Amino acid sequence: MSIPKIEMQHVYKSFGNKKVLEDFNLTVSKGDSLVIIGGSGSGKSVTIKSILGLLKPDKGSIKVDGREIVGIGSRELEEINSHSGMLFQGAALFDSLNVWQNVSFGLVQGKKVNLKEARLIAIDKLKDVGLSSEVAELYPDELSGGMKKRVGLARAIASNPELIFFDEPTTGLDPIMSDVINDLIKRCVDHLGATAITITHDMSSARKIANKIGMLYQGKIIWQGSVKDLDVSGNPYVEQFINGRAAGPISMEVRK
């Protein structure tokens, strides 16, 4: 049996009294495109930040390609992260750098590619996400929301990663631009043959990007299956969430 790309076992994470992940278990096979759905504050971002080593779990084991990442040194973590890319919710582009410098940042700093070559790769990656070479010299504050996401996507795929994370890739975009971004994500992931983990609560995005879907609720994955099983999951929590119903087993915490 091949080693899973990601394996999280009995992971716990809390912030003060708030328990975010509780006995969390997740396995992602190589080449899968897993979308984790769940309400706001359910721990989706904490899950991917824990895999990237940005947050340290209180307990449990997280393995990437069979290598334990909990408790390892920063150098080792940098080495593991050099094989992954991430598209942040707000794109998280560096304000002080122009677009091509942003896209090629990981190549120049992490892989020591020279600036001339890095610029060419950046322009190539910008073309992959449907942006022309004129955009390369612009600064992030000169870009629209959709363009920022595309540049963020170009940066995430610039080093041809084996593992890509997408944090709410369509949040704040209009429906047409959301669909464009979904298409780009699917195309880029398929083209690279990468493993992808996306967190979202946008169901049309989830259906388009995923081949597997997991539902996160109260710190655990309560359902996992393929996209085609989503509508026949038989899980009342999943049914309530995908249909966006106020009534059901999931109750929103509203202060009265």
Partner 1 sequence: MDFINLIGRVFLNFLESMGRFLIFGSKTFYHCFTPPYYFRSIISQMIEIGFYSLPVVALTTLFAGLVIALQSYAGFTKFSAEGAVAMVVELSVTRELAPVMAGLMVAGRIGAAMAAELGTMRVTEQIDALYTLSTNPFKYLIAPRVWGAVLMMPLLVFIGDIIGIYGGYLVCVYKLGFNPSSYISNTWEYLQYMDIVSGMVKAAVFGLIISLMGCYNGYYSRGGAQGVGSAATNAVVTASILILITNYMLTELFFMK
Q: Please state, as a whole number, how many other Cβ atoms lie within 10 Å of the Cβ of residue 184.
A: 19
The residue (of 63 and 155) whose beta carbon lies closer to partner 1 is 155
| Contact between 172 and partner 1 per CB under 8 A | no
The minimum distance between CB 252 and partner 1, in angstroms, equals: 23
Round to the nearest angstrom and report the end-to-end CA distance of the chain: 52
The residue (of 122 and 215) whose beta carbon lies closer to partner 1 is 122
Please identify, among the stretches 56-64, 89-97, 130-138, 223-231, the one whose residues bind partner 1 according to the rule CB under 8 A: 89-97
CB 135 within 8 A of CB 164: no
| Contact between 86 and partner 1 per CB under 8 A | yes
| Contact between 226 and partner 1 per CB under 8 A | no
**Residue (of 36, 41, 42) closest to 206 by Cα position:** 36
- Reading the block at residue 115, the tokens are 């600036």
| Contact between 137 and partner 1 per CB under 8 A | no
Please identify, among the stretches 31-39, 56-64, 79-87, 221-229, the one whose residues bind partner 1 according to the rule CB under 8 A: 79-87
Strands in 163-167's sheet, in edge-to-edge order, are 84-87, 163-167, 195-200, 33-37, 212-217, 220-226
Residue from the set 36, 93, 99, 113 that interacts with partner 1 by CB under 8 A: 93
| Contact between 92 and partner 1 per CB under 8 A | yes
State the angle between helix axes of 115-128 and 145-157 in degrees (0 to 180), rounded to the nearest 10: 120
- Reading the block at residue 113, the tokens are 């590619």
Q: Which residues bind partner 1 (CB under 8 A)?
A: 49, 52-54, 74, 77-79, 81-82, 84-86, 88-90, 92-95, 105-106, 109-110, 155, 165
